[in-house]
Each structure stands twice: as structure tokens, then as C-alpha cells.
Amino acid sequence: MHATTIRSPQALSPVRKSFVRRNLPYLLIAPSVVMLLGLIAYPLLFALKSSFYFWNLQVGPQPLAFVGLDNYVQAINAFDFRAALTNTLILSVVGTATEFSLGLAIALVLLKALPGMNVVRALLILPTTIAPIVVGFLFRYLYDPGGGLVTWVLQSLWLPVPAEGILGSPSTALAAILFVDIWQWTPFFAIVIYASLLAVPDEIIEAARLDRASAWTILMRIKLPLIRRTAIIIVMLRFMQIFNTFDTVLVLTRGGPGTSTRTLGYSLYEQGLVNFNVGLVSAQTWIAVLIVNIIVALYVFFAFRNEEW
Amino acid sequence: MKSRTTFYTALTYAAGLLFLAVFIGPILWFLALAIRSAETAFEMPPQLTFEPTLDAFRHILVDPGTNAPQLVNSLIVAIGAVLLNLPFSVPAAYALSRFKLRGKKNIMLWYLGLLMAPPVAFLIPYFVLITRVGLQGSYLSMVLVLQTLTIPFSVWLMKSFIDEVPAELEEAARVDGARWHTIMWRITLPIVRPGIIVTSMFAFVFAWNNAAFPLVLSSRSTATLPIGTLGYFATSGVTWNYIAAAAVLAMIPPMIIFLVFDRYVVRGLTFGSVKG
């Protein structure tokens, strides 16, 4: 008899184990990725296919005809869709810039750390916690031409208020929407900037003071550069939020008067859920997805290229 | 010098009061709308004093209690969305925090990118999909679709909590021969339990405040609170007291969560990328 090497189950198991071991991180991530891909790929592919068809649920339950790129051409040429893009851009740029500046100013006041200011800081975040749809109702009440608080305050200050109401006039409606956005999101900026300024070491500031640097120089040259990473992140999150919001507009103005407050989100909502124009809204969806992706990709490329993960 | 300091202190307090007036005032004014009689709601000049009444809350919760089932629905959907998300997001966050893996940065950014996708754009496809599989109007449909928000959010926030658990603890266990799942279940996850709670709370707020998905996926019997407030709007003759009462009801849980978890607010709002 000679010795034969028999593979025992014990000898096998390290091989199997090493497959699990080797792919462990991927196996742990897989369920979430599969779940999300399922939930995201379906709508995107559905929209891609539908975007080449004339399909209106008010006309019939099935797509009527293949129309090639007609929906895309129609979307781009549509005055209201372009107005929506412009408005969304105005809201995101002006809104984010204002919220950042005001937020920074508030953060600097909060940093004075006087007794009681902690309460102010804790309460300040409340607007950000409210559902956008509820914020819409809140401001619809405040803007009411017949007895809203904002209307009354403006009139008391002898400022002109349009007869149609703040939300009813094309000249003030977008500004009113912008104000709502600023009201809800300035606290977010203030709190986050405050938290990251708090983390700036005192010694650095002291050293700069000894060098007779002015408060302004310290702010611009030391504090702001040190919170750069935070700034990048919150501006991006805010941008994301603004592209997603349609509920506030739905409650406040339904995009009107005319197209003056129509946003990208609201435009998609209206084409899809009011007009049931599946073909057209699918084309708009893909245009929106492409725009968001390009902006985010550029942003991530420039903002995160030096980041450690 | 002394008077100058006093002046600045006074100025700072004045600024603090101004912040409260601007950012909290409107919320209180809306709360007042819910507890005042309908006749005084639009009086000019605004009436600060009024006879408080709980009639609006009685109307929406008890008799006829239009919004009471919606309150329950909101709870079911939001809690369901949080519970379903944990088994998906916690292992993923653990893997992203603990292991070296290729393309980690891209995977993290992919999750973040999903949070940026405009949900309105997906409403029609979801409506078609959910109808095809016969789930229209079900809680499950909303809970499922909300995962597009809760999973990416929780992965980011959980990762930041797991990152803080010293790797040495796990090393020590590994040296003692513990296997990875033992380490994950018995060592890391118990330590990050507060992180899991915080993550769940903020994910709950996300799900609770979402109106887009229930707008198309809910039925009359499964409608959530935000949809309920919209319902008042559709009927002619806006009943502002009822809207305000229902809206206040919708505001309370997120506010309580934010005030109780005050320490974690910055972290929650920035998905763990800024430590507060």
C-alpha cells in the first residue's frame, strides 16, 4: 500500500472560504447595489424607450407611434421647458450664493458663544426639517394677498405689493419662491458652517492676531480656506436639493403666473402627472438626467480630485 | 473698552433675536393658525392675541378625523422604509469602511449620485412598474421606492460612524481567531449602535417628508400626511385651519428628532461628511 493524497473536506474548505474572503467587501455591498440598480435602471430604461414614442395616457394606454427624436426636439424647443431650465438655474445659483453668505454671517455671530446662544443655534435648524410641501403651505399663508403676514409687513414698510398678490405677479413670484428657499436652507448653511468653523484650532487664529491680521483677513485667508471641504460638500448637497424640489412650487404657484416660477422638477411633474404626456416627459427626464450628471461630474472632478477616501 | 464689549454683546443678542424672529417666527405664526378660529386667520392687521382652540385638531384627528389614518400611514411608510433599508445599507457601509476595495471612491459617489436624481422624473415609470406587478396603492410600493433615498443616505452616514470605531479592536479579535462575521456582529455593530439609531432617525425624517412618491403610489386609504394636506387644497374653499393643523402634525416628528439628536444634526444633514 502506498500513501495516496486524499483531499479531505477540511482541505477543500480554505478554497471556498477564500472565495468568500476574497470577495467579502463586494458581497457585502452587492445587495444594496442590486436593489438600487433595480429601482433606478428600470425607470431610466423605461424613460429612454418611451422618449422615442408618441405616448399620451390621455389618448390611449399604449404608445401610439414611434417618433424618433421628435420628443427631444419638442422639449428643447418648448418655451416653457427652457423657461424651467433658466428658472432652476437662477434659483440654484442665486439661492446657493445667498444662503452661503447669510449662513456664514449667522455662523460668525453664533461663534461668539454668549450664554443662551446655544438655544438660538439649536432652534435655528427647524425650518430645514420641515417637508417642502408643508413649507409651501406655510408661505402660501404668509404671502396671502388678503391678510398674509409677509404682505402686511411689506405694506407696513410702504413697499409696493402687487394687487394680484406676491405670488400672483410675474415680477415678484420667482423672488418669492427664492425667498422661501433661502428661508428654509440658510439655517442649514449656518449650522454646518458653524460646526466646521468651531473645529478651526484657536492657536492658528491667535497666531494670526499676534501678527496683527484684521478680522476680515483672518476670515478670508484662514477660516474660509480651512472649511473649504465643508463648503464644497454643502454647496453640492444644496444643488441636489434644488434640482429635486417641486413640491414647494406645486403648492405655491403651480409654476405660474405664466412660466415665471416653472422649475425643472415642476415641469416634469406637470407633463407627467397632469398632462400624462409620457413620451415628452421621458425625453425631458433624459435631458434633465444628462444635465444633472454633467454638472455633478464636473463638480466632483474639480472638487474631489484631491480628496482622500 | 468695557462699554465697547457691552455694545458688541448687545449687538450679538439683537442679532440672535433677529434670527429667531425671521426663521422661527413664521413657524409659530403657522402654529397659531392651527389653534385659532377661522375668522381671525386673515385679519389685518394680524391679531397676536386670540382665543386658542383645538377645534381644528379635533376635526382632523377625531371628528370626522380626516387625517388620523394618514398619520398612521405616514408612520407605517416611514418606519417600513427605515427597517427595510438597514439590512442593505449597514453591510455595505461596513464593507466601505473596513475593507480596501477597488473603486471605493466611485462606489461612494455612485450612491451620492443616486440621491441627486430628480425623483419626479421617475414617478411615471414607477407608476407603470408598480401597476404591472399589482402593487398599486400598497404600503410596500412606497417603502420599496423610498429605498432609492434611504439606502444611499444610510450607507454614507453609517460609514462615517463605523470609520470612528478603532480598527485595533477588530484586530485584537482577529488575532484571537474570530471570523469576520463574528467581528461584525459581536464587536463592531454593538459599538456603532448609537450610529445606527441616529442614521435610522434621520432616514425616517427623509422618508417622512417625502411627498413625491406617495403622490403617485398611494391610494385613498394609504395616503400619507403631506398628500392629506394637498387634499384640502383640491376641495373648493380652502380650510386653512385644517391645513395648518395637518401640517403641524407633519412637522412635529422631524422637529423632535432634530432637537433630540441636536449633536448629530450637522452630520445627518451632510450624510456624515462633516463631523459636527
* CB-neighbour burial class of residue B148 (10 A; exposed 0-12, middle 13-18, buried 19+): buried
Read off the pLDDT of residues B255-268 as tens digits, 9 standing for 90 and up.
Answer: 999 999 988 888 88
Residues A116 and A16 occupy one common structural domain: no
C-alpha distances out from residue A133 to A105, A137, A274, B76, B215, Å: 28, 7, 18, 19, 11
Q: Angle at Cα A304 formed by Cα A245 and Cα B96, nearest 5°?
A: 85
Position A192 pLDDT exceeds 70: yes
As beta bridge partners, residue A53 has A66
In this model, does residue A9 exceed pLDDT 50? no
Amino acid A95 reads: G
CB < 8 Å to A285, chain B: 118, 121-122
The answer on pLDDT for A246 being more than 60 is yes
Look at B226 and A282 and tell me if their CB atoms are within 8 Å.
Answer: no
Q: What sections of chain A are H helices per DSSP?
A: 9-50, 70-77, 79-110, 117-124, 126-129, 132-143, 149-156, 173-198, 202-210, 215-217, 224-226, 228-244, 247-252, 264-269, 278-304
Q: What number of CA atoms fall less than 13 Å from residue B106's CA on the CB side?
A: 3
Determine contact, residues B220/A91, Cβ cutoff 8 Å.
Answer: no
What count of other Cβ atoms lies within 10 Å of the Cβ of residue B205? 22
A131 in a structural domain: yes
Residue A66 phi, psi (nearest 5): -75, 125
Instruction: Label residue A1 by pLDDT band (50, 70, 90).
Output: very low
Q: What is the pTM of this model?
A: 0.88
Q: Would you say residue A7 has pLDDT above 70?
A: no
On whether both A44 and A77 belong to a single domain, the answer is no
Flag whether A245 is in a domain. Answer: yes
CA A113 to chain centre: 31
| Domain spans in chain B, listed from the N-terminal domain onward | 68-223+252-269
Mean pLDDT, chain B, whole residue set: 87
Question: Cβ of A99: how many Cβ atoms within 10 Å?
Answer: 23
Q: What grid cell was written down for A119?
A: 438655544
- Tally of structural domains, chain A: 2
Nearest Cα neighbor of B269 from B206, B207, B197 is B206
**Candidate from A43, A124, A230 with C-beta closest to B274:** A230
**For residues B111 and B203, what is the distance between their CA atoms, to the nearest angstrom?**
15
Grid cell 450637522 is found at B266
pLDDT in tens, B213-234: 998 888 888 999 988 888 887 6
Query: Which range, A14-28, A294-308, B199-213, B224-238, has the best average confidence (pLDDT)?
Result: B199-213
Of B151, B254, B275, the CB nearest to A32: B151
* Residues B144, A39: C-beta atoms closer than 8 Å: yes
Q: Which of A1, A67, A28 is nearest to A278 (CA)?
A: A67
SS3 A56: strand
Same domain, A30 and A150: no
Please check whether residue A117 lies inside any domain of the structure: yes
Q: Is the pLDDT of residue A200 over 50?
A: yes
The sign of the dihedral angle between the CA atoms of A148, B45, A129, B269 is: positive
Same domain, A87 and A190: yes
Q: A111 and A41: one domain?
A: no
- Among A167-181, B8-22, B104-118, the minimum mean pLDDT is found in B104-118
Mean pLDDT of the B233-239 span: 66
Segments forming the whole domain that contains residue A115: 71-304
Residue-level pLDDT at B152: 93
Q: Is residue A63 part of a domain?
A: no
In a domain, A58, yes or no: no
Quick check: A251 pLDDT over 80?
yes
pLDDT digits (tens, 9 = 90+) for B34-50: 888 777 777 777 777 77
Is the pLDDT at A5 greater than 70? The verdict is: no
- Percent of chain B scored above 90 by pLDDT? 37
Q: Is the pLDDT of residue B110 over 70?
A: yes
**ipTM over the 0.95 cut-off:** no
Domain covering B68-223+252-269, topology: MetI-like fold (1.10.3720)
Same-domain pairing of A44 and A114: no
Instruction: List A277's β-bridge partners, or say none.
Output: A56
A97 — contact with chain B (CB < 8 Å)?
no
Residues A94 and A214 in one domain: yes
Q: Is residue A64 part of a domain?
A: no
Q: CATH code at A100?
A: 1.10.3720.10
B114 neighbourhood in chain A, CB within 8 Å:
36, 40
pLDDT at site B257: 94
**pLDDT by residue (tens digit) across B191-213?**
999 999 999 999 999 999 998 89
**Which segment of A28-32, A75-79, B15-19, B117-121 scores lowest on mean pLDDT?**
B117-121
Of A260, A243, A241, nearest in space to A186 by CA = A241
- pLDDT higher at B20 or A221: B20
| pLDDT band of A17, cuts 50, 70, 90 | low
DSSP annotation string for B14-52? HHHHHHHHHHTHHHHHHHHHHTS-GGGTT-SS--S----
Backbone torsion region of residue A271, taken as left when φ is above 0, otherwise alpha when ψ lies between -120 and 50, otherwise beta = alpha
- What is the band of B238 on the pLDDT scale with cuts at 50, 70, 90? low
